[in-house]
Structure 1
Amino acid sequence: MTETNVESSKLPPAVEAFVLRWGDLGGQWGVNRSVAQIQALLLLSDRPLTAEDIADKLGLARSNVSNSIKELLNWKLVSRVPVLGDRRDHFVAETDMWQMASKVAQGRKEREIDPMVAAIHAAMEQADDPHISKEVRLRLSNMNDFITTVDTWYGQMIQVPPQQIMRLIRLGAKVVNLLKYVGGKDKSKG
């Protein structure tokens, strides 16, 4: 490798630190470290990168990069972009934090929440079995009420423009205080 190639493959210290930390966080989120590191690199890249660029900059095997990119494409967190004069695939990350969070939430809902909703609904359909105690039926009913409410809320919130949700989030404790005011006395405090 020439001196120029070595230099061009080095990451600025801040970018390297972010990529490493994002990779560590990926494990806590249930995401492969390489997948998270590639997303982080693309998030902070000022130009589209090829799989070869990514492998070089992160010191990863090309096959690992390919598999990781496929996963990121499935999550819609990266996309292919054409680059004039180059037949190779180039990739960019979704950089809008709201869009990124929405895509992750949608993917998690499809993979984790929807199957739970289906399982609880299936159990509820069989809850009239005389071998199931009243207590178990009540627990199933409570789970069903909770998950149905959360699922309905998600469907409503996904329709709200991001700017409005951000205004709501920025209100923070004011929303909690408003809920206490309009909801009456907090039952958890006696």
Structure 2
Amino acid sequence: MRLNPATEKFILHWGEMGTQWGVNRTMSQIHALLYIIGKPLNAEEITETLGVARSNVSTSIKELQNWGLVQKVSILGDRRDHFTTNTDVWELARVIVVERQKRELDPTVQFLQELMDSPEFENENSSVKARIKETHEFIETVTTWSTEMLKLPTSSLKKILKLGASIKKFLR
């Protein structure tokens, strides 16, 4: 498949963004391709379009499926597996936030709680204990807040995010 210049730039940038977030470049580019094209593609089409190894496409698709970002679909008359992603950027953001919370924040909250419950924690100096408790409280608060925000309808979430710093007038 031949890509238009703007589409190609978008996919390349999405790949760069992914690497900044600790995600494999090819995995990010595959997701970007499926998102921007907005129709199911088979692995061969993805391989040809992106110019990457077929094995890399297979591995990346499996990981994208593990993240809940890519789904396998069947096309009538074609025995090959095709892959698609949600084209609603707000829904994609929800999936990514939930997955990152599950993979990064939840284990950290659990680790910090276990650390605070451990016998060696009591032997730490008070400033170290205070920082660990503050870190635990911060991550737990951010996780709880984002979980509640993700439950809101997209229209409400957009309004809240557009408020930005002006929300402080409601806090006075």
Q: Normalized against structure 2, the TM-score is what?
A: 0.92
Q: Is the contact between residue 78 and residue 92 of structure 1 (CA under 8 Å) also seen in structure 2? A: yes
Please list, as runs of the form range in 1=range in 2, the aligned pairs for 1:67-78 lying within 5 A after superposition.
Answer: 67-78=59-70
Q: Is the contact between residue 16 and residue 25 of structure 2 (CA under 8 Å) also seen in structure 1? A: yes
* Higher-RCO chain (CA-CA 8 Å, sequence separation at least 6): 2
Gaps of 5+ in 2: none
Per-residue Cα deviation, 1:131-177 (whole angstroms, up to 9, x for no partner):
22222222222222222222222332222222111111122232133
Please list, as runs of the form range in 1=range in 2, the aligned pairs for 1:41-120 lying within 5 A after superposition.
Answer: 41-120=33-112
The root-mean-square deviation of aligned C-alpha atoms, in Å, is: 1.7
Give 2:108's aligned amino acid.
Answer: M
Larger Rg: 1
Identity of aligned residues (%): 44
SS in 1 for 2:123: coil
Q: Is the contact between residue 127 and residue 137 of structure 1 (CA under 8 Å) also seen in structure 2? A: no
Higher fraction of helix: 2
Per-residue Cα deviation, 1:37-70 (whole angstroms, up to 9, x for no partner):
1111111214311000000111111111100111
Gaps of 5+ in 1: 1-8, 183-190
1:131 to 123, 137, 156: 123
Per-residue Cα deviation, 1:44-102 (whole angstroms, up to 9, x for no partner):
21431100000011111111110011111111111111100111101112111111001
Count of residues in correspondence between the two structures = 172
Kindly indicate whether residue 14 of structure 2 is the aligned counterpart of residue 22 of structure 1: yes
Moved more, 111-120 or 143-152: 143-152
**Aligned residue in 2 for 1:153:** 145
Q: Is the contact between residue 34 and residue 85 of structure 2 (CA under 8 Å) also seen in structure 1? A: yes
